[in-house]
Amino acid sequence: MKPTEFLESIEDFQVSFVGKKSIDAELFTKSIDDTVTLVKASADAIDPSCFIKLEIKANKEGSFQTVIDIITKYSPDLLAVSSIAGNVIQGFLNFILIKQHLKGKKAKKIETKDDEMAIQNQKDEILKVSKKIGQTYFKDNRIDNLVVNITNNISNGDRDYLSVKTKDREVKIDKSEYENMATSVIDGNPVAKTITNKPIDVDLPLKKPDLLGKSKWEFIYNKKIEAKIDDEDFLTKVRKGEIKNLYAGVRIPSKLQFE
């Protein structure tokens, strides 16, 4: 029986912990472990039949940079791809980009077409990734938690940002993103579920009206809330001066519905 022939695909990427010149050894080890696990998860998503090995090629001082070689062995009969290692790295970067895109909240909508997944966040922004990578991310909380762990490690180390760079792409986790990136968002249901309560009748204390334009009014209901007034007849009477006494604290009969 002829042994299976494997081809090698080699790419490198750089992980930079930007901030201090040195880095705590335990923090470094945890971060690299989680990074390696995330890269392997990308490889499994792209093609479980390939073999993957990661080697640390160099450590550099300054922003403390680690250069990692990803060596992928694959059968030409199973996977006719010139740079499978490059695809694995891109999948790894897309895991991070999905987490950034969600901004600490569940996805609003996920749509899959052909080999592509479109992820809509709560701000109605769309990110498109490969279907295999997207499905792996939202399958369970494993990938999400790995990115959470990496973020917690760099935030505990007081780093300005983490950079992952390939020959033609760079992804950064900035200090301003740490809180969102460290928030778990996958718990079995990847898409946020909207729950709408029944409307209730309540007299809302007025905080600030809009007597001239079309901006939102402010009321108090346990805390400040904003509301768009849909009653055009009411607004017309307000602007004509037919409805008066709209001072702070006056109670407005309202029908209130929570989502």
Q: Please give the residue that has the higher pLDDT: either 11 or 96.
A: 96
The candidate with the shortest Cα–Cα distance to 17, out of 9, 8, 27, is 27
Confidence band for 1, pLDDT divided at 50, 70 and 90: very low
The two tokens of residue 222 are 């346990």
pLDDT at 236 over 70: yes
Distance CA 201, CA 251 (A): 12
User: How far is residue 226's CA from residue 83's CA, in Å, rounded to a whole number?
Assistant: 52
Instruction: Using the predicted structure, report yes or no on whether residue 11 has a pLDDT greater than 70.
Output: yes
22 has pLDDT over 90: no
Where residue 78 falls among pLDDT bands split at 50, 70, 90? very low
pLDDT at 58 > cutoff 80:
no
Q: How large is the greatest C-alpha to C-alpha distance in the chain, in angstroms?
A: 95
Give the type of residue at 102. Answer: L
Claim: this prediction has a pTM higher than 0.85: no
CA distance 163 to 159: 11
* pLDDT over threshold 80, residue 44: yes
- For residue 80, pLDDT over 90 is answered with no
Chain-centroid distance of CA 142 in Å reads 14
- DSSP H or E stretch at residue 69: strand 65-74
> How far, in Å, are 50, 84, 115 from residue 46 at the CA level?
9, 9, 12
Q: Can you list the alpha helix ranges (DSSP code H) found in the chain? A: 25-46, 84-102, 131-139, 142-156, 178-181, 232-239
CA dihedral 138, 142, 146, 147 (to 10 degrees): 10
pLDDT tops 90 at residue 20: no
Is the pLDDT score of 92 beyond 80?
Answer: yes
